[in-house]
């Protein structure tokens, strides 16, 4: 009975979403205040029924209700409770419901934090969000319903959740990622509203900014968690693969970052408004395109959900309606805007433009690389792979100028910046950065490495220049309270970027990997650390059988810690998984991953020494912290 | 428990001479250049079974076969170009993670840089459009302006 | 509406339309399937034994159009495909040779005895050396080879009735007419 209530709840949500999409919008054109007032209750009502449906699905998982097809396909009685709860979003239908739920959460948030918005604006924003909800709810109910029942004989037990997903990463990564993806729908809705009303003013930018910031923070967090999860779980020591689905999350992040920066100019200088609106449309469009790419089977990805061209067609139609309308509206309305502000060639405005161009071209490049195999195939020119080497080379090159300009950003002024003064105060900092980048690694490794010098130069350049800007400001005139929060936020976020660059540069350049055959008693030495294979033991987990190896890690004879890499066989599915063991500290990771068992009790193993790899994610957390601080700036309260 | 393990470890370490029990590398080569060639090639070759893993990482049986094949060829002294050619003759260009630079991939490799150039030009054009127009008056206009300002006062 | 400006502001829309067309086309393609790199090339030279112990080389296969079906006893899909292969074999419209991939001699022979043998002969390739030279990356796969020993077509995955009716049989007839 319960699953049927879930289905019914979804249908009710769809009805309310339809009303939410139509009535307030219509009301805003006819001046019918009553209809516009309906926006909030309709949105909250829709969310309530979506939440109900979601909870019912979760309960079905918790109670092992295998009469529900989705539960039977992705769960098992021996699956630990936490994973039964998270399995809801482990595959297509359930994760789609999560998407809809999170859209509902954002919609309700807009309802709550919008007291200062004119009713007309609120009505239109909620209607646009309602339209998106309608599309997804319709898609879910019609083609991907999680409440489908099994007809006929019920299975005794479920097929179990894919063992790769049975990891703490599943708890955080998808929800945070979706909070980000979906969150950009709010900026999108504000952009559409602005285009509809023809009013593109600083107020619009001020309303959009906090929503964009929060969405951006969640997306950063989601991507970071995904990278860290892959690193721990997959056993190859890699943290980014330029997989199409990863790219689908990175592109909105890049354009979202551009949007965030552009909103600054739009709000403070009343400029670039048309461009900012376009960025807002692009960012959410990339989220939607990402949804299409992941669920349609059009691309070759390890992350894709089980695919079905019919579902793909549905999403494509939805995409065309939403993005097509948005871009048509833009083409029409934006053409009437004129240039109103003035600024010089060297100014903060220009630097922001450069930031935007580089970020958008970077995103376009990733789109190009991701879709190129498809394009070549569609043209009948054969099958091609565009893998990490391409992205590393091209994206890496594009990042260099971005990082270079980023360091100078705090020194630019609106409207005009004296180029000579800029250069004279900074050339020494640049020189010091380059020298440090050459000397420091040389002292430790006795070698010169081009990639390291470039990466560290840019990172140090950003750090030193940004810190100099703080020192300059503190020593010049009395700090103005209002702007200091944003300045702190920028400093921390930019420093975070530099930290991530250091992590990437050093871990990639100095990591050591060895594939070895180790028998009990054998010792392997990497980067001054000794790994001694002690013994192996059998163990039983809640839903798997494991062989656990004990590896002692020591440095120059001094014992550091024990590592316990495992090989697990999950009973329900029979799938074998390898669980890597990591000895981590801020300066380096030591990583052991098992291969296959060999003769004479020996094992094939892969050992890694990865210096500074934690800095990659540490830097990302600094960026998120920067965002958080920016949020607390009193100017951006939109209550 | 950990004390027992540590004691055991120390005992084991003292009983074994390191020279005898050094873990053996899975693939051994005649010289470092061969090792480097092997280690550079594998991550850039796509596994055809687990298509989102490289030959370096994949556990698929075919990947193991191909690794052995590449290993044999490296030992036999074949060059990178020869090994790549051997594989693409059998599996097509799909097996290469780095797309070759040829006529059908010119757009792939060069469009990003073209876009940057277009973008920077765009920035220049926009900056010019937004530039502060300094207006200079001739004598007659200046006189007119001063008269008007005197009237206002 | 400013006509000059709209030529610029309409660019994103145009770009999106092209993208949507690409996606639409992509829905009917399969990104996992690899076409053979050997179409138009000769079958690689080999010297192996058959499941019955006789020596066999590429010369033994010349002179007639035939199908080369890559299979193994451990491959579940091959069992599904088997019925179709038996039908093709009984219709006597084309010869079918088998390439037994990374299997055991006894297990392979037993499998054929149990389920039936549609093959004129089966090449025993326990190490997969011929398969590697053919660019085999999964089982089952089937190659269509002409009288001169040139590879003309490859089917990845099991042969379904419609593959036979719509693709293989017409191609076989065409090849025979050409010679």
DSSP for A605-623 reads EEEEEEETTHHHHHHHHHH
Distance in Å, alpha carbon of C95 to nearest chain B alpha carbon? 24
B89 vs C32, C37, C102: nearest CB: C37
Confirm or reject contact between C4 and chain B (CB < 8 A): no
**Interface B-C: count of C-beta contacts within 8 A:** 32
Backbone phi, psi, residue A307, to 5°: -110, 160
Confirm or reject contact between B106 and chain A (CB < 8 A): no
Summarize the confidence of residues A435-457 as an average pLDDT.
92
Distance CA C78, CA C70 (A): 9
Distance CA C165, CA A226 (A): 47
Q: For B95, which residue in chain C has the nearest alpha carbon? A: C34
Contact A80, A543 (CB under 8 A): yes
DSSP for chain C, written as a single string: --HHHHHHHTHHHHHHHHHHHHHHHHTTS-TT----TTTTSBPPP-EEEETTS-EEEGGGGTTS-EEEEEE-TT-HHHHHHHHHHHHHHHHTSSEEEEEEES--HHHHHHHHHHH----SEEEEETT-HHHHHHT--SSSEEEEE-TTSBEEEEEESPPPHHHIIIIIHHHHHHHHHH-
* Confidence check: pLDDT of A481 > 70: no
Distance CA A550, CA A537 (A): 8
pLDDT at site A326: 96
pLDDT at site B15: 45
C137 vs B48, B69, B88: nearest CB: B48
pLDDT at site A471: 85
Contact C159, C81 (CB under 8 A): yes
Write the pLDDT tens digit of every residue in C66-86. Answer: 999 999 999 989 998 999 999
Summarize the confidence of residues A271-275 as an average pLDDT.
86
Distance CA A329, CA C1 (A): 12
- Nearest one of A466, A464, A486, A468 to A476, comparing CA atoms: A468
* Confidence check: pLDDT of B138 > 90: no
Distance CA C164, CA C166 (A): 6
Interchain CB distance below 8 Å, A374 and C17: no
| Of A103-112, A479-488, C32-41, C147-156, the least confident | A479-488
Express as a percent the part of chain B with pLDDT over 70.
Answer: 80
* Confidence check: pLDDT of A245 > 60: yes
Q: Give the pTM.
A: 0.91
* Confidence check: pLDDT of A426 > 60: yes
Output A403 or A202, whichever has higher pLDDT.
A403
Confirm or reject contact between C10 and chain A (CB < 8 A): yes
pLDDT at site A317: 95
Contacts of A349 (CB under 8 A, 6+ apart): A265, A269, A271, A272, A341, A343, A414, A415, B127, B130
Q: For C43, which residue in chain B has the nearest alpha carbon? A: B90
**How far are the Cα atoms of A265, A340, A415, A490, B23 from residue A271, in angstroms, in the given order?**
6, 7, 11, 20, 64
Please calculate the CA angle A585-A591-A592 and round it to the nearest 5 degrees.
145
Q: Dihedral sign, CA of A82, A83, A89, A94? A: negative
Q: What is the ipTM of this complex?
A: 0.89
pLDDT at site A480: 53
On average, the pLDDT of chain A sits at: 91
Residues of chain C with C-beta less than 8 angstroms from the C-beta of A298: 23, 26-27, 29, 31
* Confidence check: pLDDT of A568 > 90: yes
pLDDT at site B128: 82
pLDDT at site A516: 87
Beta-sheet pairing, A581-585 with C141-145? unpaired
Confirm or reject contact between C54 and chain A (CB < 8 A): no
Give me the CATH topology for the region B27-98.
Helicase, Ruva Protein; domain 3 (1.10.8)
Confirm or reject contact between C113 and chain A (CB < 8 A): no
Interchain CB distance below 8 Å, C2 and A335: yes
- Nearest one of A67, A83, A228 to A75, comparing CA atoms: A83
Confirm or reject contact between B72 and chain C (CB < 8 A): no
Beta-sheet pairing, C66-71 with A558-563? unpaired
Backbone phi, psi, residue A19, to 5°: -60, -40
For A78-83, which contacts have Cβ atoms below 8 Å and span 24 or more sequence positions?
A: A78/A160, A78/A542, A78/A543, A78/A571, A78/A572, A79/A158, A79/A160, A79/A161, A79/A166, A79/A543, A79/A572, A80/A166, A80/A542, A80/A543, A82/A171, A83/A161, A83/A165, A83/A166, A83/A170
Confirm or reject contact between C102 and chain B (CB < 8 A): yes
Confirm or reject contact between B88 and chain C (CB < 8 A): yes
Confidence of residue C42 (pLDDT cuts 50, 70, 90): very high
DSSP label at A461? H
Summarize the confidence of residues A256-267 as an average pLDDT.
92
Q: For C39, which residue in chain B has the nearest alpha carbon? A: B90
Q: What is the CA A312 to chain-centroid distance, rounded?
A: 22
The CA-to-CA distance between both ends of chain B, in Å, stands at 95
pLDDT at site B28: 83
Backbone phi, psi, residue A145, to 5°: -80, 120
Distance CA A627, CA A490 (A): 8
Summarize the confidence of residues C47-63 as an average pLDDT.
90
**Helix A388-408 and helix A419-445: axis angle, to 10°?**
130
pLDDT at site A141: 95
Distance CA A161, CA A543 (A): 11
Question: How many C-beta atoms lie closer than 10 Å to residue A309's C-beta?
Answer: 16
pLDDT at site A369: 96
Summarize the confidence of residues A394-401 as an average pLDDT.
95
Confirm or reject contact between C1 and chain A (CB < 8 A): yes
> Among C23, C38, C76, which would you mutate to test the A interface (most chain A Cβ atoms within 10 Å of its Cβ)?
C23
Confidence of residue A637 (pLDDT cuts 50, 70, 90): low
Confidence of residue A420 (pLDDT cuts 50, 70, 90): confident
Residues of chain A with C-beta less than 8 angstroms from the C-beta of B88: none
Contacts of A384 (CB under 8 A, 6+ apart): A372, A373, A376, A377, B93, B94, B99, B104, B105
Express as a percent the part of chain C with pLDDT over 90.
Answer: 68
Backbone phi, psi, residue C103, to 5°: -125, 180
Confidence of residue A515 (pLDDT cuts 50, 70, 90): confident
Helix (H, G, I), strand (E, B) or coil at A514: strand
Q: For B118, which residue in chain A has the nearest alpha carbon? A: A357
Write the pLDDT tens digit of every residue in A107-126. Answer: 999 999 988 899 999 999 99
Distance in Å, alpha carbon of C168 to nearest chain A alpha carbon? 20
Distance in Å, alpha carbon of A36 to nearest chain B alpha carbon? 39
Q: Dihedral sign, CA of A337, A340, A346, A351? A: negative
Q: For C13, which residue in chain A has the nearest alpha carbon? A: A327
Helix (H, G, I), strand (E, B) or coil at A449: coil
Confidence of residue A483 (pLDDT cuts 50, 70, 90): low
Summarize the confidence of residues A591-609 as an average pLDDT.
89
Contact C171, C153 (CB under 8 A): yes
Confirm or reject contact between A378 and chain B (CB < 8 A): no
pLDDT at site B17: 39
Confidence of residue A600 (pLDDT cuts 50, 70, 90): confident
What dihedral do alpha carbons B59, B62, B64, B67 form, nearest 10°? -120
Question: How many C-beta atoms lie closer than 10 Å to residue C176's C-beta?
Answer: 13
Summarize the confidence of residues A150-155 as an average pLDDT.
87
Residues of chain A with C-beta less than 8 angstroms from the C-beta of C24: 313, 316
Helix (H, G, I), strand (E, B) or coil at A287: helix
Residues of chain A with C-beta less than 8 angstroms from the C-beta of C2: 335-336
Question: How many C-beta atoms lie closer than 10 Å to residue A381's C-beta?
Answer: 12
Contact C76, C173 (CB under 8 A): no
Write the pLDDT tens digit of every residue in B16-52. Answer: 433 456 666 778 888 888 888 998 899 899 998 888 8
What are A597's strand-pairing partners? A603
Contacts of A373 (CB under 8 A, 6+ apart): A299, A300, A383, A384, A385, A386, C31
Summarize the confidence of residues C97-114 as an average pLDDT.
93
DSSP for A553-601, written as a single string: EEETTEEEEEE--EEEEETTT--EEEE-EEEEETTEEEEEEEEEE-STT
Q: Which domains does chain C have, with CATH numbers?
A: 35-178 (3.40.30.10)
A534: its two tokens: 């002690």
Half-sphere exposure of A89 (CA within 13 A, CB side): 22
> Among B90, B107, B115, which would you mutate to test the C interface (most chain C Cβ atoms within 10 Å of its Cβ)?
B90
Distance CA A427, CA A411 (A): 13
pLDDT at site B134: 64
> Among C7, C14, C27, C30, which would you mutate to test the A interface (most chain A Cβ atoms within 10 Å of its Cβ)?
C27
B82: its two tokens: 């020869």
Spans of all domains in chain B: 27-98, 102-153
* Confidence check: pLDDT of A81 > 70: yes
pLDDT at site C30: 83
Contact A265, A352 (CB under 8 A): yes
Write the pLDDT tens digit of every residue in B48-78. Answer: 888 888 888 887 889 989 999 999 999 999 9
């Amino acid at each position: 009975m319960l699953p049927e209530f879930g289905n019914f709840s979804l249908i009710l949500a769809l009805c309310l979403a339809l009303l939410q999409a139509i009535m307030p919008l219509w009301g805003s054109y006819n001046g019918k205040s009553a209809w516009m007032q309906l926006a909030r209750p309709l949105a909250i009502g829709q969310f309530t029924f979506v939440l109900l449906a979601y909870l019912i699905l979760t309960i079905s998982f918790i109670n092992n209700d295998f009469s529900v097809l989705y539960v039977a396909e992705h769960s098992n009685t021996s699956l630990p409770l936490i994973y039964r709860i998270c399995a809801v979003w482990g595959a297509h239908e359930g994760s789609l419901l999560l998407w809809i739920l999170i859209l509902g959460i954002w919609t309700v948030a807009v309802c709550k934090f919008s007291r200062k918005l004119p009713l007309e604006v609120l009505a239109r924003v909620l209607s646009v969000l309602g339209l998106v909800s309608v599309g997804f709810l319709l898609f879910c109910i019609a083609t991907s319903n999680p409440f489908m029942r099994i007809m006929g004989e019920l299975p005794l037990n479920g097929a179990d959740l894919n063992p790769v997903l049975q990891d703490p990463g599943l708890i955080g990564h998808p929800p945070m990622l979706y909070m980000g993806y979906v969150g950009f729908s709010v900026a999108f809705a504000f952009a559409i509203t602005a285009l509809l009303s023809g009013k593109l003013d600083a107020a619009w930018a001020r309303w959009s900014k906090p929503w964009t910031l929060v969405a951006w923070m969640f997306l950063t967090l989601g991507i970071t968690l995904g990278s860290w999860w892959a690193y721990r779980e997959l056993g190859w020591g890699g943290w980014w693969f330029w997989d199409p689905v990863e790219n689908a999350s990175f592109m909105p992040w890049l354009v979202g970052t551009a949007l965030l920066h552009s909103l600054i100019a739009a709000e403070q200088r009343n400029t670039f408004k048309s461009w900012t609106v376009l960025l807002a449309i692009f960012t959410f469009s990339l989220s939607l395109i990402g949804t299409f790419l992941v669920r349609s089977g059009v691309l070759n990805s390890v992350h894709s959900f089980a695919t079905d061209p019919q579902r793909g067609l549905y999403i494509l139609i939805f995409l065309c309606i939403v993005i097509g309308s948005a871009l048509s509206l833009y083409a029409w309305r934006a053409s009437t805007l004129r240039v109103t502000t003035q600024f010089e060639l060297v100014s903060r405005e220009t630097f922001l433009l450069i930031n935007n161009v580089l970020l958008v071209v970077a995103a376009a490049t990733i789109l190009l690389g991701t879709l190129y195999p498809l394009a070549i195939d569609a043209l009948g020119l054969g099958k091609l792979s565009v893998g990490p080497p391409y992205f590393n080379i091209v994206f890496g090159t594009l990042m260099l100028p971005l990082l270079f300009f980023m360091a100078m950003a705090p020194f630019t002024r609106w409207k005009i910046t004296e180029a000579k003064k800029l250069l004279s105060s900074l050339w020494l900092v640049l020189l010091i950065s380059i020298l440090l980048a050459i000397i420091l690694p040389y002292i430790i490794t006795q070698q010169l490495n081009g990639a390291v010098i470039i990466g560290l130069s840019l990172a140090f350049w950003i750090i030193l220049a940004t810190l100099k800007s703080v020192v300059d400001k503190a020593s010049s005139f009395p700090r103005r309270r209002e702007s200091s929060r944003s300045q702190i936020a920028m400093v921390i976020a930019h420093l975070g970027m530099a930290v991530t660059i250091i992590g990437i540069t050093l871990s990639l350049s100095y990591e050591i990997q060895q594939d070895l055959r180790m028998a009990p008693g054998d010792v392997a030495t990497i980067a001054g650390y000794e790994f001694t294979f002690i013994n192996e033991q059998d163990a039983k987990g809640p839903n798997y059988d494991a062989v656990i190896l004990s590896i002692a890690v020591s440095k120059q004879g001094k014992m550091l810690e024990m590592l316990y890499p495992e090989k697990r066989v999950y009973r329900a599915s029979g799938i074998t998984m390898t669980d890597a063991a990591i000895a981590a500290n801020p300066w380096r990771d030591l990583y052991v991953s098992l291969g296959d068992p060999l003769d004479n009790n020996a094992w094939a193993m892969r050992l890694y020494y990865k210096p500074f790899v934690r800095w990659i994610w540490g830097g990302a957390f600094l960026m998120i912290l920067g965002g958080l601080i920016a949020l607390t700036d009193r100017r951006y309260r939109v209550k | 428990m950990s004390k027992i393990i540590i004691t055991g470890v120390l005992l084991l370490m003292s009983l074994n001479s390191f020279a005898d029990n050094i873990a053996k590398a899975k693939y051994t080569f005649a010289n470092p250049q061969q090792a480097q060639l092997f280690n550079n090639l594998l991550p850039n070759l796509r596994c055809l079974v687990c298509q989102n893993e490289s030959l370096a990482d994949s556990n698929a049986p075919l990947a193991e076969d191909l690794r052995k094949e590449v290993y044999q060829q490296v030992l036999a002294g074949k060059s990178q170009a020869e090994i790549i050619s051997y594989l693409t003759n059998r599996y097509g260009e799909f097996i290469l993670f780095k797309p070759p630079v040829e006529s059908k991939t010119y757009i792939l490799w060069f469009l990003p840089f073209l876009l940057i150039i277009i973008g920077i030009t765009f920035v220049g054009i926009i900056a010019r459009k937004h530039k502060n127009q300094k207006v200079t008056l001739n004598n007659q206009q200046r006189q007119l302006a001063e008269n008007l300002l005197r009237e206002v006062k | 509406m400013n006509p000059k400006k709209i030529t610029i502001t309409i660019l994103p829309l145009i770009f999106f339309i092209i993208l949507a067309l690409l996606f639409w086309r992509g829905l009917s393609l399969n990104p996992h399937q690899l076409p053979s790199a050997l179409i138009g090339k000769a079958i690689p030279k080999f010297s192996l034994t058959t499941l019955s112990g006789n020596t066999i080389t590429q010369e033994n296969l010349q002179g007639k159009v035939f199908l080369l079906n890559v299979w193994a006893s451990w491959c579940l899909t091959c069992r599904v495909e088997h019925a179709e292969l038996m039908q093709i074999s009984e219709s006597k419209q084309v010869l079918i040779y088998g390439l037994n991939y990374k299997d055991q001699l006894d297990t392979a022979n037993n499998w054929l005895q149990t389920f039936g043998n549609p093959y004129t002969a089966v090449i025993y390739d326990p190490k997969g050396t011929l398969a590697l030279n053919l660019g085999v990356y999964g089982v089952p796969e089937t190659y269509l080879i002409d009288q001169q020993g040139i590879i003309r077509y490859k089917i990845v995955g099991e042969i379904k009735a419609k593959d036979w009716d719509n693709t293989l049989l017409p191609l076989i007839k065409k090849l025979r007419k050409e010679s």
